[in-house]
Amino acid sequence: MVGDKGIKKILIICLFLLPSLIGLIVFKGIPIIWSLILSFTKWDLIGSPRWIGLGNYKNIILDKDFWGALAHTLYFILGYLPLVIIFALLTALLLNRKIKGITAFRAIYFVPVISSWVAVSMIWRWLYNSQYGLINYLLSLIGITGPAWLQDPHYAMPAIIMTSVWKDTGFLMIMFLAGLQNISEDYYEAAEIDGASGIKKFFSITLPLLGPTTFFVLIISIINSFQVFDQIWVMTQTEPTAAYTQVLVTQIYNYGFKYYKMGYASALSWVLFLLIFVFTLIQNKLQKRWVNYE
Amino acid sequence: MNKSKKKITADILSYFILISGSLMMIVPFLWMISTSLKTADATFVLPPKFIPDHITLNNYKNVINSFPILRFLFNSIFVSVTITLGQLLICSMAAYVFARIDFKGRNALFLIYLGTLMIPSQATLTPQYILMNHFGWVNTYKALILPGMFSAFGTFLMRQYFLTIPKSLEEAAFIDGASHLKVFFRIIMPLSKPGLATLTITSFMESWNSFLWPLIITSDDKHITLPLALTRMQGRWHTDYNSLMAGTLITVIPILIVYLLAQKQFIKGITMTGIKG
């Protein structure tokens, strides 16, 4: 009887777990190990891979283009992150004031979030058009001659950053809003009795208690920013500014699927992983200094 | 008196900022619609007009005549729906084991599941491509769908949800002689609708908007999905913004409709998971 039950249990585990397990091993596990091994080889898809030890990693460190792509990625992160967090937090704070129409505002801010990056990039390419684009027209109304944005090496990355901030504000706003709604009214009531001003309340109640949310938002945003690809690809890949907006993932794509340097591309992707890992680790260490969990 | 005056000023200021922000969010989309309904002549004039004097549907005709847009639409729907349904079933089943059936090494296995989440998807692009190439799956639905159907994240999400369901319900069923299969499909799954809704939305949005993997693995008209199709249009009509905006609108409409129908679930799902596809 017990044996019968045991067999049934094994059967049910196999039936339920194996599809997921086999799928993940084939499409995730094996590729992860494979790409790690590939990163120590030289292979252009023809013939068999040749072991070159740390050769790819050495070449990456010596590669000017890699440092360029890393610099562009960091440029993107440093421009995008503060802006998107400020806009998202501001919007969330305003929506949290229990004003009417919160659902409508939330829904509108969310439309860019659900749209695909390719569609959004297409729309903004047109908005950024130097001669007939809406943005330069609006600038001309206040007497500014707008740049050629995506065709101008100085403005291509800022343009991509602005579009990214525009698209992701609603996304981060919604998470801040959830965090704000978790803060108990009692704190504010107590502060009000003590006669605290709005600004004082923000800095001594809202911001500290929002710490865990801010931390979560920061981690997710940094991880996503390191992996930035779609908008860069669609907005500048066919432009003369492509070289000025090359980031880590566009570089991985180019080496892997344009030049078919599989080993080098794999090594690059592990460098990307390492960067994300280290940044997340640092964040995690630093959080103890500024995040208070209730 | 003073206080309510202050509140009114603050309210007005809030509305002003929120409405300006909303306009910034929505105007690019309106501009897309406007451009898609204009003739080329009316597009390249200054000052630009939001509502064209002469509305034309030629740009849409142009898109439909130049590209098998219905096929692209079908590809996107077929791929996203299959991935989503697959994830719902496969992740939930695995999650049920992780949440309810104990066996040796279960926790270690679950940790490995979580561990794979740390590896960015880009790290597996090259071998995944080689694998698909080896199977002869380049330019097939299989290559678009299968790698997306198995999600460690989805398993994690569903396991967390199952853990919140009290065990007493199933225990009664087990005493009545129900099998795990029955408990899973009749009790656990129906009780997990909110969790399943969250997984549906994140999984659907992620596959619907996915770009990098389709770019690598597909190139023929029979299999490409909408985001890729859009870059195809861009290649052909580099400066024909009227047709481009018509094409873009066609690709945005379906997800927009789904969003409007299930707005609350979208927002909740994304807040819960921090995933935006």
B264 confidence band (pLDDT: 50, 70, 90): confident
- Count how many pairs of residues, chain A against chain B, have C-beta atoms within 8 Å: 259
CB-based contact, A266 to chain B, within 8 Å:
yes
Q: A105 to chain B: which residues are within 8 Å by CB?
A: 18, 21-22
**Six-digit token pair at B41?**
């002549």
In a domain, A135, yes or no: yes
Interface test with A, best of B43, B100, B122 (most A CBs within 10 A): B122
Look-up: residue for tokens 């500290």?
A208
| Domain shared by A180 and A272, yes or no | yes
* pLDDT tens digits for range A212-265: 899 989 999 999 999 999 999 999 998 999 999 999 999 999 999 999 999 999
- CB pair distance less than 8 Å for B252 and A116: yes
With CA atoms as reference, the chain A residue closest to B148 would be: A27
- Hey, is B42 helix, strand or coil? helix
- The pTM of the full predicted model, rounded to 2 decimals, is 0.92
- CB pair distance less than 8 Å for A29 and B147: no
CB A132 within 8 A of CB A196: no
- Hey, is A50 helix, strand or coil? strand
Q: What is the CA radius of gyration of chain B?
A: 24
In a domain, A50, yes or no: no
- Across B264-272, average pLDDT: 80
pLDDT at residue B173 greater than cutoff 80: yes
As for how many domains chain A has, the answer is: 2
| Domain shared by A134 and A260, yes or no | yes
Q: What is the pLDDT of residue B119?
A: 87
CB-based contact, A88 to chain B, within 8 Å:
no
Whichever domain contains A269, its CATH number is: 1.10.3720.10
Interface test with A, best of B16, B34, B126, B234 (most A CBs within 10 A): B126
A195 confidence band (pLDDT: 50, 70, 90): confident
Q: What is the pLDDT of residue A286?
A: 87
Distance from CA of residue A24 to its chain's centroid? 24
Q: What is the pLDDT of residue B242?
A: 94
Q: How far apart are CA B65 and CA B70, in angstroms?
A: 11
| Domain shared by A176 and A254, yes or no | yes
- Across B115-140, average pLDDT: 91
Residue A28's domain comprises: 2-38
| Domain shared by A161 and A277, yes or no | yes
CB B113 within 8 A of CB A23: no
Could you give the percent of chain B with pLDDT greater than 70? 98
- CA-wise closest residue to A214 among A84, A116, A68, A103: A84
| Domain shared by A135 and A197, yes or no | yes
- CB pair distance less than 8 Å for B93 and A137: no
Q: What is the pLDDT of residue B2?
A: 67
* Burial tier of A283 (Cβ tally within 10 Å: 0-12, 13-18, 19+): middle
With vertex at residue A153, the alpha carbon angle to CA A149 and CA A156, rounded to the nearest 5 degrees, is 40
In a domain, A11, yes or no: yes
Amino acid at A193: I
Q: What are the residue ranges of helices labelled H in A48-195?
A: 55-62, 64-95, 102-114, 117-127, 134-141, 156-181, 185-193
- CB pair distance less than 8 Å for A13 and B18: no
Q: What is the pLDDT of residue B276?
A: 64
| Domain shared by A212 and A246, yes or no | yes
Q: How far apart are CA B120 and CA B122, in angstroms?
A: 5
| Domain shared by A109 and A34, yes or no | no
* pLDDT tens digits for range A8-24: 889 999 999 999 999 99
Q: How far apart are CA B71 and CA B75, in angstroms?
A: 6
Beta bridge partners of A50: A42
Closest approach of chain A CAs to the CA of B79, in angstroms? 15
CB-nearest partner of A118 from B96, B118, B231: B231
Distance from CA of residue A217 to its chain's centroid? 10
- CB pair distance less than 8 Å for A15 and B251: no
With CA atoms as reference, the chain A residue closest to B155 would be: A20
- CA-wise closest residue to A246 among A54, A92, A65: A65
CB B33 within 8 A of CB B55: no
Q: A35 to chain B: which residues are within 8 Å by CB?
A: 123-127
Provide the chain A residues 97-136 that lie in CB contact (below 8 A) with chain B.
Answer: 97, 99, 105-120, 122-127, 129, 131-132, 134
**Six-digit token pair at A24?**
């993940």
List CB contacts of A30: < 8 A, sequence separation 6 or more.
Answer: B127, B131
Task: For B122-159, give one letter per residue: b (16+ CB within 10 A) or e.
Answer: bbbbbbbbbbbeeeebbbbeebbbbbbbbbbbbbbbbb
Interface test with B, best of A36, A102, A114, A264 (most B CBs within 10 A): A114
* pLDDT tens digits for range A113-160: 999 999 999 999 999 999 899 999 999 999 999 999 999 999 999 999
In a domain, A43, yes or no: no
Q: How far apart are CA B60 and CA A184, in angstroms?
A: 52
Assigned fold of B61-273: MetI-like fold (1.10.3720)
| Domain shared by A11 and A113, yes or no | no
CB B51 within 8 A of CB B34: yes
Number of other CB atoms surrounding residue A156 within 10 Å: 26
List CB contacts of A271: < 8 A, sequence separation 6 or more.
Answer: A57, A60, A66, A248
ipTM, two decimals: 0.91
CB-nearest partner of A27 from B126, B150, B184: B150
pLDDT at residue B30 greater than cutoff 70: yes
| Domain shared by A66 and A211, yes or no | yes
What average pLDDT does the structure give for chain A? 92
| Domain shared by A237 and A266, yes or no | yes
* pLDDT tens digits for range A157-173: 999 999 999 999 999 99
Closest approach of chain B CAs to the CA of A15, in angstroms? 8
Provide the chain A residues 144-203 that lie in CB contact (below 8 A) with chain B.
Answer: 166, 168-171, 174-175, 177-178
* pLDDT tens digits for range B186-239: 999 999 998 999 999 989 999 999 999 999 999 998 999 999 999 999 988 888
* Domain edges within chain B: 2-56, 61-273
Q: How far apart are CA A292 and CA A211, in angstroms?
A: 6
Closest approach of chain B CAs to the CA of A16, in angstroms? 5
CB B98 within 8 A of CB B163: no
Q: What is the pLDDT of residue B5?
A: 84
| Domain shared by A166 and A219, yes or no | yes
- CB pair distance less than 8 Å for A116 and B209: yes
- Higher-confidence residue of A224 and A291: namely A224
Q: How far is CA A105 from CA A170, B29, B251, in A?
A: 10, 16, 24
Interface test with B, best of A123, A129, A253 (most B CBs within 10 A): A123
Q: What is the pLDDT of residue B275?
A: 67
| Domain shared by A33 and A171, yes or no | no
In a domain, A277, yes or no: yes
CB-nearest partner of A114 from B128, B231, B259: B259
pLDDT at residue B1 greater than cutoff 60: no
List CB contacts of A237: < 8 A, sequence separation 6 or more.
Answer: A250
Beta bridge partners of A42: A50
DSSP annotation of B122 reads G
- Higher-confidence residue of B48 and A80: namely A80
**Six-digit token pair at A222?**
């940094």
